[in-house]
Every structure is written in C-alpha cells, then in structure tokens.
C-alpha cells in the first residue's frame, strides 16, 4: 500500500512545533467574561443560606449564580450515546453538594482579579451531613449520596439510588462453583486499583459566545462534540438546534474529556448574559474536581489442573463512581469482559459487579476504561497461579490463551477473527531475554534484577452502538476535503484517516485536507473514545472514498463520452481506454460545478456489530534495591497486535505513551484523601507522574494480523497499550522479593517494609 502502513508526518506537526495559536485559549476572544466556580469545602452538605450581595457589588462582576438560578432538570456529564447508561444525577448547581470541590456558585466578571475578589465575598452557610468516604461502606448504607426523587436512570443497568448503587449486574457461563471445586489448584485474591488522574497537559477549558443568529457557540477542548451538544441542551433546557459545539487542537485528553467537566458553566453564563465567556480550570481544579479513573477492587478466583490447564474463573468488581455516575455502569463491564476473554481454555466463568456512589470526586473515563483494572487483577492472579503450579508464566499463558478462530469467553459470543496474541507473547519473551533472566538475578550488592510479564486486550469500538461518519468531497483544483467529527487529541487521527482516504483515492496524503469536529459542519460521529476512531470512523472514510471514486468516474465518463467501465483512473486523471482521451482530476472538479446534478461529495456512516480486540504482551525488567525498596525500570518490551498498522510512527508513540502511563499507575500515582474527604494530591508537586528518567528503555514491536472487518485490516491501538505495565511490574517485584503486592501503586516504602517484615 502507498499510504496506509507508511510513517506519514502528522498533519498538525508543523503548527504545533512552531508554536502556532491552535489551542482554545489561543483562539478565544480577548473580551470574554472570566468564569470561575466557588466550590464546597465539605464532602456532603446542604447549602442552608448563601449571600452573594457583596460579591455582586465588586467592580467588573457581571453575574453571580447559585442553585436558585439554574434549571432543575437533571442530566449526566458522561459523553455517551443516547440513551446514556450513566444516570441523570446532576444539576448545573445543586443545593446538595456531594464532594469536596462540588460547585456551589458561578461567578463571571471582566477579569480574573475581580472574579477572585468576588469569590472571597460570597458567604455560605452549610448544613454538614454524614458522608461515605470508603466505598466498602456505600452499598445499602443509611447515608444516601443521591436521596433526591428527581434522580433517574435511562437504561436498565441495575442502578438504585436508594441503595447507593450506580450499577449492578452478573453474567456467567457454566457452573463456576462445580468446576472450581474440581480443580487441583486455585488462587483466590483481591486486587485494589486506586483512582488515578489522566494528568493531560492542557487542563479543562471552554469558551462560549452567541453568533449573529443568537445561537450558542461552544469551542471546547473535548473529545465528544455531538455529546456535548446534547449535554448542554439537557442542562440548559434549550433546543440542540440553538447550540453549535466545535473543538480546536486538544492538549491531551486520555478519556478525561469524554466527560463534559467544564462546558456547562460558561455556556450557562453566555446564554443568560448574551456575552462571550470562558472557563479555564487551574491545575488544582483539574486534580480535585474532574473525572479520574474509577477506583476498583477486583476479586479473582482461578482454578487449574496440575498440568496447567486453566478451567474456571470467577471475577467480582466493586467500583467507586464517586459523587456522580459518569461512566460508572460502563467502565465496570470492561474489568471482566476485557480480562476473562484472554483465556480461551475456560470451562466456566462468572463476572459480577457493583458500582457504588460515595462522597468523593466523581470518576470518569480514562484510557483502558476499566479493562486496565481488571487485567491487573486477572494477570496478577495468573502469575500467582504459575507460582503455585511451579510453571513458567509464559508457558502457562501459551497453554491457555485465546487464539484466532476461537470463541472468546465472556465477550458477548464474539470470535477472535484476528489474534496474534501467541506471537506477541513469544516475541516479548525473546525481546526481554525471559529464559535467561527469569525469575531474578541477585547482583550481590543489595540489588536484584528481575523480570515480569503480562498480556492484555481491549476493544475496537462499542459494538452495535458507536457511529463513525465521514464526508469527502472533491475540490475544483483536484484536491479533497475530508470532514469528520472524531476529535484528534494528539493521537493523529486526522492524519491516519487522511492516509486511508489517500489509499482509496490514489493520491498523496497532502492532497486531503481534514476539517474536524464541528456539530454544524461535520457528519455525526460518537466521538473519540472506546478506541473506535481507526476502526469505526476509518471504515466510514473507506466507504465514503470508494463511493466518491465511483461518482468521479461517472462524471468523467460523461466528459469523455464513454462508459465508466471503459475508464482507467490512477488518482490523477481518468483515461478513455478506447480512444486515449483524458481528463485530469482538476478538470473533473471544475466540470462538477457546471450543469451537474451529481455532487462530487459523499457522506457515509458506519456502525460495527462486533468489536475485534487488539492484543498485547508486555514484559518489564527492573532493578530493586532491597534496602530502600526503590524500583528502577531498566527495560520494557512490548509487542502489539492491532491488525494492520496504519501509521507506524504514530502507533509507536501511542504505545510508548500508554506504557509510561501504566508505569506511573504501578509505581507513582496515588490519589489520597484526608479523613474529611479532601483530596491531598492537588498539584503536580504532590501527584507524581513518571518523567523520562523513570521509564527506562521502552521497546515496541508489532505482530502481524489482519482484521477482516476493519479498514485495510486495522484494529484499534489507543487503549490496549496501558494495560500490561502494572501486572508485569508487580510480577517482577514479586520475583525479586517473594512478596505479592495487590494494591496499586506499589511504593518503595511498602517494598522496604515488606522486606523487613519478611
């Protein structure tokens, strides 16, 4: 292929590298009202009285709004296809505040200084209520996080606000108890993954203004322009036709911006005042009042025979959605449905879960979306099982893993139509030097070097739900414009979708301009999440380009007075094979503008009934100091099966970035609360993410597979890449110390204390 599979430079590379004004605050009008929020200091409280008179008297203040001023219709901030599985449990401002940081008032003024002065002058009297801070205590607690009668769930996800349940469910196949009781060896453990922040470099931010028609225009750093439009319509109580949402370049999202964390506040201000407004979250707000990964406790029981055949698996997940239910019912599903299917040898399996409300910051979407937590638990349990069986963990996996053509357990009856997981694992083991280094080497100076391994999977869309769309049109100069509503978050989707279009139309990638993510001009697309852009929107691009090619040939046939079947088209010109007459693509484009009823523009949508998983294996080599417990990552080897690699450069940096995030989750990142429910890690001084010095050497390769349902054989890659580091590193630590750490992150102090106790 000439375009697909090539390391094409990102379309926005030059603009970003030269510091061009491409981000929201670069493009926002300078006369915007500045919007800030007064936030609750209590984990659970009711606003008894609020006095804003002094704040409104501050020079430059345009408006101060409280719960008395906003609509009373509840909604969700989750960017999901309607009807959203996440319950409608929010108001723009609520008298009942449910976590430290919940908004109490909106202040809008001419500049930041006057808004800061006004915030200090607001007087609030709270009735402090009992709170639930430990998610083990939430289910059926007498303390209700959402006692309101207006709470509602649109989908049957097992939600019950009177029990503090955001979701609850169970699925199984076979008699799990009977098979487990017949197994020779079992492992039964519970694994705790704390909430972690996406920590993208660009914080949450939105600017709003009214256009000449009085419509609300919203430019936001978001992954989900169409979902934001619906969320704002629900929150403000205005028609969607009165709202336009579009996005600039995005300075990172990782799922955080699949939740409309900040958009409703400036939208409300602009709709009420008629003036442009903007909100920019501080880093502290982004850390303490956003949408981190769901804290989950995953209990796993695995049974196997002495020969290493894994026969049954039982997984139960307790998930903490926090104060609101964004993504709560859906993230939990992946903890089982993206971990159990890794093992095709199962005779029986069961997956059950509860998602509970607590008085902590609301959780949301983060790369991996629940699969990360479940895979950490299951893969660690498998490594523990290998220890009990005295088997090499690589051999144990090769004996039991799912393979191509096999029905995947707990994966909705889907078959692995493309699966190179066996290749991924074998190559990863060779890359890390598994046979020579497993399980550890004592260097004799208090340092031990060891290795650990894990494998993972994800999906390529939400099957039967996600919709991807693309519009492609021929310009009169023989170039193309591709319009999409998938949001490029730095992943390079603008580039890879253009590569697919160029492959279909046999033109240089630079001949396809990309216009994206605008609800007024882009065709409907669910948005950039669930690893769906390459697979779903890519298929829509492929279909649209193929149809446009047919239309180009139809018009060229009229120009050259022949049948379309008598034409040869090489992407630059159409040639009549009968008489040699030619028409260039530019000539065809010009001809389409005169006496032509067949527009050289095509829109195609696509939704997939299946979600073929990408697979991955990862292995870590560490050096552990037995006195201090310090862990240094020396080497991380990974092999990914994402089907056809559309752009090797972009796929590689996606993989490297995800691995580093996984390393951070395993060793560094730790959201901590005090006894009052206040989050302590409110800056990048307290919340540690890995730097270039912490990641060691990262090596990435790709295994060859071809997904027949994907565009050019491609699957997804965006999320799978974060799933193996935590279990692989914990495995390496166990090999070095003989200790299993089942709660993340694993800190140096815990390792040192564990070694002393041992």
Domain assignment present for residue 356? The answer is: yes
Residue 637 forms beta bridges with which residues? 619, 699
Contact assessment for residue 109 and residue 115, using Cβ atoms and an 8 Å cutoff: yes
Picking from 591, 606, 621, the residue at the C-terminal end of a domain is 606
Domain assignment present for residue 448? The answer is: yes
Mean pLDDT computed over 599-606:
97
Domain assignment present for residue 722? The answer is: yes
Q: Please say whether the dihedral angle defined by the alpha carbons of residues 745, 749, 755 and 758, taken in this order, is positive or negative.
A: negative
pLDDT higher than threshold 90 for residue 392: yes
Same domain, 80 and 220: yes
Same domain, 309 and 396: yes
By three-state DSSP, how is residue 271 classified? helix
Same domain, 444 and 511: no
Other CB atoms within 10 Å distance of the CB of residue 456? 36
- Bin 322: left if φ > 0, else alpha if -120 < ψ < 50, else beta: left
Query: Taking CA 638 as the corner, what is the angle to CA 637 and CA 639, rounded to the nearest 5 degrees?
Result: 140
pLDDT higher than threshold 90 for residue 669: yes
Tell me phi and psi for residue 112, to 5 degrees: -65, -35
Contact assessment for residue 644 and residue 749, using Cβ atoms and an 8 Å cutoff: no
DSSP 114-166: HHHHHHHH-EEEEEE-----SGGGTTT-SS-S---TT-B-SS-SS-BGGGTEE
Predicted local confidence at residue 230, as pLDDT: 98
Structure tokens at 375: 């895979």
Q: What is the mean pLDDT of the chain?
A: 97
Sheet holding 440-442, edge to edge: 440-442, 447-457, 615-625, 631-641, 697-702
Distances from the Cα of 525 to the Cα of 323, 419, 468, 506, 648, angstroms:
29, 28, 5, 25, 25
Picking from 280, 305, 339, the residue at the C-terminal end of a domain is 280
Question: Distance between CA 145 and CA 552 in Å, rounded?
Answer: 59
Same domain, 541 and 628: no
Domain assignment present for residue 406? The answer is: yes
Q: Write the CB contacts of 407 (distance below 8 Å, at least 6 apart in sequence).
A: 344, 413, 414, 415, 416
Domain assignment present for residue 1? The answer is: no
Domain assignment present for residue 145? The answer is: no
532-560 pLDDT tens trace: 999 999 999 999 999 999 999 999 999 99
Structure tokens at 100: 């430290």
CATH at 527:
3.30.365.10
Mean pLDDT computed over 350-377:
98
DSSP 191-242: EEE-------SS--EEEEEE-TT--EEEEES-S-HHHHHHHHHHHHT--GGG
Question: Distance between CA 375 and CA 22 in Å, rounded?
Answer: 37
- Measured in whole angstroms, the distance separating CA 60 from the mean position of its chain's CA atoms is 39
Contact assessment for residue 294 and residue 370, using Cβ atoms and an 8 Å cutoff: yes
Same domain, 588 and 709: no
Structural domain for 743, as ranges: 295-460+611-757
Structure tokens at 563: 């049948």
Same domain, 358 and 237: no
219-256 pLDDT tens trace: 999 999 999 999 999 999 999 999 999 999 999 999 99
Mean pLDDT computed over 451-461:
98
Q: Write the CB contacts of 552 (distance below 8 Å, at least 6 apart in sequence).
A: 474, 569, 574, 585, 588, 600
Residues written for the chain:
758
Structure tokens at 295: 């804290």
Predicted local confidence at residue 331, as pLDDT: 98
Same domain, 432 and 350: yes
Domain assignment present for residue 704? The answer is: yes
73-109 pLDDT tens trace: 999 999 999 999 999 999 999 999 999 999 999 999 9
By three-state DSSP, how is residue 390 classified? coil
Contact assessment for residue 338 and residue 374, using Cβ atoms and an 8 Å cutoff: yes
Q: How many domains does the chain have?
A: 3
pLDDT higher than threshold 90 for residue 714: yes
Predicted local confidence at residue 516, as pLDDT: 86
Burial of 9 (C-beta count, 10 Å sphere; 0-12/13-18/19+): middle
Same domain, 731 and 680: yes
Same domain, 585 and 648: no
Picking from 551, 576, 606, the residue at the C-terminal end of a domain is 606
Same domain, 636 and 686: yes
pLDDT band with cut points at 50, 70 and 90 for residue 704: confident
Predicted local confidence at residue 61, as pLDDT: 98
34-67 pLDDT tens trace: 999 999 999 999 999 999 999 999 999 999 999 9
Predicted local confidence at residue 631, as pLDDT: 98
Predicted local confidence at residue 24, as pLDDT: 97
Structure tokens at 104: 């109490």
Predicted local confidence at residue 593, as pLDDT: 94
Same domain, 25 and 113: yes
Mean pLDDT computed over 296-305:
98
195-220 pLDDT tens trace: 999 999 999 999 999 999 999 999 99
102-131 pLDDT tens trace: 999 999 999 999 999 999 999 999 999 999
Mean pLDDT computed over 145-170:
98
Same domain, 18 and 117: yes
Other CB atoms within 10 Å distance of the CB of residue 117? 17
Contact assessment for residue 91 and residue 34, using Cβ atoms and an 8 Å cutoff: no
Of 29, 741, 752, 117, residue with least CA distance to 383: 741
Domain assignment present for residue 196? The answer is: no
CATH at 66:
3.90.1170.50
pLDDT higher than threshold 90 for residue 758: no
């Amino acid at each position: 292929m000439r375009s697909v599979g090539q390391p094409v430079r990102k379309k926005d590379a030059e603009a970003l590298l030269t510091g061009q004004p491409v981000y929201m605050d670069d493009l926002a009008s300078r006369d915007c009202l500045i919007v800030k929020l007064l936030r609750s200091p209590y984990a659970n409280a009711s606003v008894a009285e609020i006095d804003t008179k002094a704040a409104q008297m501050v020079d430059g203040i345009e408006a101060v709004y409280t719960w008395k001023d906003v609509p009373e219709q509840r909604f969700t901030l989750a960017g999901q296809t309607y009807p959203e599985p996440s319950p409608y449990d929010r108001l723009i401002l609520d008298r009942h505040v449910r976590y430290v940081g919940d908004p109490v008032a909106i202040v809008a003024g001419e500049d930041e200084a006057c808004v800061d002065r006004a915030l200090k002058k607001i007087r609030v009297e709270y009735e402090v209520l009992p709170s639930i801070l430990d998610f083990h205590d939430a289910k059926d607690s007498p303390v209700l996080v959402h006692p309101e009668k207006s709470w509602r769930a649109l989908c049957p996800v097992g939600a019950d606000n009177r029990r503090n349940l955001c979701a609850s469910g169970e699925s199984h196949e076979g008699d799990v108890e009977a098979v487990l009781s017949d197994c020779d060896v079992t492992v039964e453990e519970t694994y705790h993954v704390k909430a972690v922040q996406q920590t993208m470099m660009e914080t949450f931010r939105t600017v709003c203004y009214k256009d000449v028609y009085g419509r609300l225009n919203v430019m936001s750093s978001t992954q989900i322009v169409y979902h934001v439009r619906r969320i704002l319509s629900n929150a403000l109580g205005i028609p969607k036709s009165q709202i336009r949402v579009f996005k600039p370049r995005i300075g990172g999202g990782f799922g955080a911006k699949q939740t409309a964390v900040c958009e409703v506040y400036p939208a409300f201000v602009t709709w009420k005042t008629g003036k442009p407004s903007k909100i920019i979250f501080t880093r502290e707000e982004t850390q303490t009042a956003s949408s981190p990964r769901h804290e989950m406790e995953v209990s796993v029981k695995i049974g196997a025979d002495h020969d290493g055949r894994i026969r049954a698996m039982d997984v139960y997940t307790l998930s903490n959605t926090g104060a609101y239910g964004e993504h709560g019912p859906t993230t939990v599903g992946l903890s089982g449905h993206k971990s159990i299917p890794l093992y095709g040898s199962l005779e029986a399996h069961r997956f059950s879960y509860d998602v509970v409300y607590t008085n902590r910051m609301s959780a949301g979407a983060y790369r991996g979306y629940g699969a990360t937590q479940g895979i950490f638990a299951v893969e660690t349990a498998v490594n523990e099982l290998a220890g009990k069986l005295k088997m090499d963990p690589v051999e144990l996996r090769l004996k039991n893993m799912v393979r191509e053509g096999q029905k995947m357990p707990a994966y909705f009856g889907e078959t692995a139509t493309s699966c190179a997981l066996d290749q991924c694992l074998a190559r990863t083991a060779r890359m890390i030097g598994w046979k020579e280094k497993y399980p550890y080497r004592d260097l004799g100076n208090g340092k031990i070097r060891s290795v650990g391994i894990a494998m993972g999977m994800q999906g390529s869309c939400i099957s039967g739900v996600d919709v991807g769309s693309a519009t492609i049109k021929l310009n009169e100069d023989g170039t193309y414009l591709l319009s999409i509503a998938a949001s490029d978050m730095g992943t390079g989707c603008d580039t890879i979708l253009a590569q697919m279009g160029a492959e279909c139309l046999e033109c240089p990638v630079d001949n396809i301009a990309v216009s994206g993510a605008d609800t007024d001009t882009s065709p409907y697309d669910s948005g950039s999440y669930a690893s769906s852009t390459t697979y779903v929107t890519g298929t829509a691009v492929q279909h649209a380009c193929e149809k446009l090619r047919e239309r180009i040939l139809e018009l060229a046939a009229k120009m050259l007075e022949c049948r379309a079947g008598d034409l040869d088209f090489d992407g630059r010109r159409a040639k009549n094979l009968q008489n040699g007459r030619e028409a260039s693509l530019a000539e065809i484009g010009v001809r389409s503008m005169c006496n032509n009823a067949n527009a050289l523009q095509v829109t195609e949508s696509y939704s997939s009934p299946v979600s073929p998983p990408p697979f991955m294996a990862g292995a870590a080599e560490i050096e552990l100091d037995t006195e201090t417990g310090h862990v240094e990552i020396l080497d991380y080897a990974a092999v990914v099966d994402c089907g056809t690699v559309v752009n090797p450069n972009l796929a590689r940096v996606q993989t490297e970035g995800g691995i580093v995030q996984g390393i951070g989750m395993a060793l560094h990142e730790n959201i901590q609360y005090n006894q009052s429910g206040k989050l302590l890690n409110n800056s990048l001084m307290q919340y540690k993410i890995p730097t270039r010095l912490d990641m060691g050497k990262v090596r990435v390769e790709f295994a060859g597979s071809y997904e027949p349902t994907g565009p050019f054989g491609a699957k997804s890659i965006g999320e799978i890449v974060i799933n193996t580091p935590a279990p692989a590193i914990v495995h390496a630590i166990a090999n070095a110390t003989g200790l299993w750490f089942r709660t993340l992150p694993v800190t140096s102090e815990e390792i040192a204390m564990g070694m002393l106790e041992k």
